[in-house]
Structure 1
Amino acid sequence: MKAVISGGGIAGLSAALALDRAGWSVSVLEKAPGMRAGGYMLDFFGPGVDAAEDLGLLEALRTHARGVRRVDFVNAAGRSGAQMDYRHIRDATGGRLFPILRGDIERVLHAALPDRVELRHGTSLSQVEETGAGLVLTLADGGRLTADLLVGADGIHSNTRRLVFGPEQDFIRPLGFHTAGYFFDSAEVEAALDGDFKMMAIENRMAGLYAVEGSRIMAFFVLRADETERPDDPRPALRAAFGDLGWIVPEVLAAMPGPEDIYYDVVAQVEMDTWRRGRTILIGDAAYAVSLLAGQGASLAMAGGRALGQVLSGTDDVAAALAHFETQLRPLVLEKQRAGRNMAKWFVPASPAHVLMRDMGVRLMNWPPLSGLIGRFFSVSAKGFSLR
C-alpha cells in the first residue's frame, strides 16, 4: 500500500514514520526547499509525549530540551508582576513536559526516518483525482504520483484541504488575534532576560522573549486584530502595536529582520465536519488546529500521525480505518479546541483587571497547597490518542 503525505512538518513526518512502521510505502511532499530551522519554542506535553515514546523518539527529543528557570510576567516597564517556577510545571506533569524549539522536533523526526521513506522538498500538489483504483496526484511541476492514501499534513493553510475539501474560509475560525515571531542577536537583551522566559502580557497585546542559545533571542508577539488578511510586510504593524512600550522592547523592535524572516499569521482554529473524503485524510493543524494560544499543537500533530499509523496497520480496509481514526479522535480534539478558546481570553488580557487576575492566579498556583492546579491548567491527559 502506498501513502503520499503532503507536508513535511511534525504531523507529516510523524505520520511518515508511523505508516512506514505499519508496512506502508511512503512519500512525503514538502513545498519548502529544505529543512526549516528554528521555529518558536513550545512546551511539549500531553498526547505527543506518549506518541514520541511509542515511536522511540522521546529521549532524543529530551536532549533538545531548553533550560528555562521560570516564566516571568512583566509589565510595560519590565517590572515583574508574577512568576511561575518552571520546576513546579515539570513536577505537576510528572516530568512529562519540557520546552523545545519546534524546529528541533522536526529534526529529530527527520533523523528517525529510514532511507526507504521518500522525502521530496520543493514540491507540492496541484490536483487530486480519485479513481476506482486509487488516487492520481498531479504535482506543481507537472509530475504525477499514484497512491492508495493521501494524508494532508500541510498546516492551517493546507493546500490539500483546499484541493479536496474546498476554500480555506469555509474552515478557518479566527480567534481575534494576530501573531508574529522572529530571531535576533543581542547580548544586552540576553542579560536582561537572565535565563527567564519573559512575558509582557498587557492589555490587548503580548510580547514574549527568551534566549534560545547564547545571545540568540526569540521574540514573539500577539495582538488583538479582527481582520484575517496578513500583511506582506508585518514590520509597520508590529511597530504600531508595540512601539509605545519601554524596557527592552525598543531594542527588540529595532532588531527586526526583513519581512521574509518574520513569521506572521492569524491566530485561528480549523473546524471541519469531517477530516476525511474518500482516500484523503487530514491530520494536525490542517484538520484540527487548536491555535497557538491553546498550546499542544505540536503534541496533537505527533499524536495524530502516530494514531493514523496505528489504525492503518495490518488492514486493507482504508475507509473503515479512517472512519475509526476520526470517530475516536474528534471528541478529544473538540475538547481541546474549546479549552483553547478559553485560554485566549487569559493569554492576552482584555483589561487591566484581567492582568491583575492573571497575576493573582499565577501566584496562587505557586503556593504549594494549590500547585496541583498547574497540572489541570496544562491538561496533560493523553487518553484516547492511542488507537492500538
Structure 2
Amino acid sequence: MGNTDILISGAGIAGTALAYWLRRAGFTVTVVERAPEPRPGGQTVDLRGAGRTVVTRMGLMDQARALSVDQRGLACVDASGRITARLPADSFGGEGIVSEIEILRGDLGRLLYDATVPETEYVFDDTITGLDQDDDGVTVTFEKTGPRRFGLVVGADGLHSVVRSLAFGPESDHVRPLGVYTAWFTAVEELELDGWYQMYNVPGGLVASARPGRRAGEIKAGLSFRSAPITYDRRDIAAQQDMLARRFAGAGWEVPRLLRAMRSASDFFFDSMGQVHLDSWARGRVVLLGDAGYCPTPLTGLGTSLALVGAYVLAGELASADGDHRIALRNYDETMRPYVDQAQQLPPGGAAGYAPSSALAIRLRGLSMRSMTRWPMRNLLAAQFAKAGDIALPDYGLPAVGEQPASSTGAGR
C-alpha cells in the first residue's frame, strides 16, 4: 500500500479496536461516524474467550474489569416474578450465558476510543456516500465533508452497513433475518432484580428482560418478539414504541413499568436480528469487519469477540504483508473464517429457544435451563461457550498502550 491512510466507517467496538491496532502498526487512521459523538450507554456485552485475550494484549483489561457490571447470572421468571430457572455467572468457568466480565457497550466503546486519541482522527456526524476504487486507492465522498483519498476503506458500521451496501450490493443479498425484533433501552426503575439478569417469556414469542446497570437505580431493559417480516421506519421511534406497546399489552410481570419507561428513554434502540454472510469480506480496497461482515446475532453472545478478534487480525495482517493489501486481506479471511463459521452457529433452539411460542415450550426451556450444569446438557453448552476461544491468535508483535508504535508498517507475524 503506497497510501497508508486507512478510513474506518463506524466508531463502535470493532472500529475503535481496529483504529487502536492500526495506529500501533504505524498506519494513519481516520474514523467516520454518523453519530455526533461516541455512543454512550447501550446494553451489556461479553468479554470472553479470544476477545478477552485481545483486550489483555491491549493492556486494557484492568480498566475493563473496573467498568464491568456486577451481575449474579441469568434467571428466568414467571408472571409473578418467581424465579423458575437460573444460571449463575460463574458457570462454565465464567463464560456462560452471562459471562464473568460484562461491560456496557458504551463503556467498552469509550475505553477503546480513549485509547486511540489523539493519534486517530475522528469525523463525527458524517457518513460515507460513495466509494470510487482504482489501482492506487479509494476516493471517498461523504455526506457533509469534501472527498478524500485513502489506501483502504474498512466497513465497521454494523448490521446495516453503508460500506457493505456500496461495495458489495444490497443488504438483502447478505443479511439472513432470524424473525426476531428487539428493543433495548435504559430504565430508571426500582425493580427487585437482586443482581440477576431476569428474563420473562410470554406465549407468542414475546421476551421481556431487565438487568442491573452499572449505576445505582439504572436498569437495562429489553423487549423482543418473533414475527414474520415487518416493515417499519427506522427513524420513527414513536411508531416503533407504539408497536411494542401493542405487542406487549397485558403481558404481565414488570412489562407495564418497562413500557412506561420506554417512552422516556434517551437511548431507545429497535432493530431486527439477522446474520451477515458473505463469501468474501474484501472487494478490492474495501474490507468488512465485525457485524458489517459477519454479524452472528446477539443470540450467540459472540459479536463482541468477533469484533475484537477481527480488528486485531486485520491490523496484524496489514502490518505483516509488506505493503500488499491483497495478501493481508486474504490472510485475514483465512485466519478468521473458521472462527466466524463456528461463532455463527446458533445455540440449541435458536430463535425458538430464546422466544418460545407456546406455554409448553416455555416450560420445557425452563427445564432445560435447570439442567444446563448437569450431563448431558452441560457438555452441549460447554461446546457452545468454548467457541469464543476457538482460535489460535497470531502474535503480530504489535505494541500495546504505553509502548512505542511501529514507525512503519512491517511488524512480523
Q: Within 2, Cα distance between the matches of 1:137 and 1:343?
A: 39
Alignment match, 1:229: 231
Which of 298, 301, 304 is matched with 2:304 structurally?
298
Alignment match, 2:85: 82
SS at match of 1:218: strand
Report the TM-score when normalising by structure 2: 0.87
The Cα offsets for residues 107-151 of structure 1, whole Å up to 9 and x where unpaired, read as 110111142211111111111111222111111124121111111
Q: Within 2, Cα distance between the matches of 1:66 and 1:119?
A: 28
Change (3 A) 1:67 1:373: farther
Q: Within 1, Cα distance between the matches of 2:174 and 2:348?
A: 16
Which of 169, 173, 177 is matched with 2:172 structurally?
169
> Could you tell me whether the CA contact under 8 Å between 2:15 and 2:311 is conserved in 1?
yes
Alignment match, 1:264: 270
Q: Within 2, Cα distance between the matches of 1:296 and 1:352?
A: 29
Question: For residue 102 of structure 1, what is the amino acid of its counterpart?
Answer: R
Task: Kindly state the Cα deviation for residue 90 of structure 1 after the two structures are TM-superposed.
Answer: 4.2
* 2:220 maps to 1:218: yes
RMSD: 2.2
Which of 372, 376, 379 is matched with 2:383 structurally?
376
Stretch of structure 1 that moved more, 227-236 or 53-62: 227-236
Which of 352, 363, 369 is matched with 2:370 structurally?
363
Q: Within 2, Cα distance between the matches of 1:223 and 1:47?
A: 31
Question: For residue 321 of structure 1, what is the amino acid of its counterpart?
Answer: A
Using the aligned pairs only, state the percent identity.
Answer: 32
Which of 22, 29, 33 is matched with 2:32 structurally?
29
Question: For residue 24 of structure 2, what is the amino acid of its counterpart?
Answer: R
Stretch of structure 1 that moved more, 299-308 or 224-233: 224-233
SS at match of 1:379: helix
Which of 235, 246, 249 is matched with 1:243 structurally?
249
Q: Within 2, Cα distance between the matches of 1:217 and 1:376?
A: 31
Q: What are the residue-to-residue correspondences of 1:1-388 with 2, within 5 Å?
A: 1-91=4-94, 97-187=100-190, 189=191, 192-203=192-203, 204-212=205-213, 213-231=215-233, 232=236, 233-258=239-264, 261-314=267-320, 315-339=322-346, 342-366=349-373, 374-384=381-391, 386-388=393-395
> Could you tell me whether the CA contact under 8 Å between 1:155 and 1:284 is conserved in 2?
yes
Q: Within 2, Cα distance between the matches of 1:181 and 1:141?
A: 29
Task: Kindly state the Cα deviation for residue 205 of structure 1 after the two structures are TM-superposed.
Answer: 1.4
> Could you tell me whether the CA contact under 8 Å between 1:88 and 1:371 is conserved in 2?
no
Change (3 A) 1:85 1:363: same
Stretch of structure 1 that moved more, 223-232 or 61-70: 223-232
Change (3 A) 1:135 1:14: same
> Could you tell me whether the CA contact under 8 Å between 2:186 and 2:265 is conserved in 1?
no
Change (3 A) 1:370 1:228: closer
After TM superposition, what 4+ stretches of structure 1 lie above 6 angstroms from structure 2? none
Q: Within 1, Cα distance between the matches of 2:89 and 2:226?
A: 27
Change (3 A) 1:259 1:81: closer
Question: For residue 124 of structure 1, what is the amino acid of its counterpart?
Answer: T
Question: For residue 207 of structure 1, what is the amino acid of its counterpart?
Answer: A
Q: Within 2, Cα distance between the matches of 1:376 and 1:383?
A: 10
Stretch of structure 1 that moved more, 353-362 or 211-220: 353-362
Change (3 A) 1:162 1:92: closer
Stretch of structure 1 that moved more, 59-68 or 351-360: 351-360
Task: Kindly state the Cα deviation for residue 363 of structure 1 after the two structures are TM-superposed.
Answer: 1.6
Task: Kindly state the Cα deviation for residue 87 of structure 1 after the two structures are TM-superposed.
Answer: 2.4
Stretch of structure 1 that moved more, 305-314 or 247-256: 247-256
The Cα offsets for residues 336-364 of structure 1, whole Å up to 9 and x where unpaired, read as 21225853232112333322222222222
Matched residue pairs, number? 384
Task: Kindly state the Cα deviation for residue 221 of structure 1 after the two structures are TM-superposed.
Answer: 1.4
Give the gaps of 5 or more residues in structure 1: none
SS at match of 2:252: coil
Q: Within 1, Cα distance between the matches of 2:131 and 2:325?
A: 18
SS at match of 2:389: coil
> Could you tell me whether the CA contact under 8 Å between 1:311 and 1:387 is conserved in 2?
no
The Cα offsets for residues 259-282 of structure 1, whole Å up to 9 and x where unpaired, read as 874200011111112110001100
Report the TM-score when normalising by structure 1: 0.92
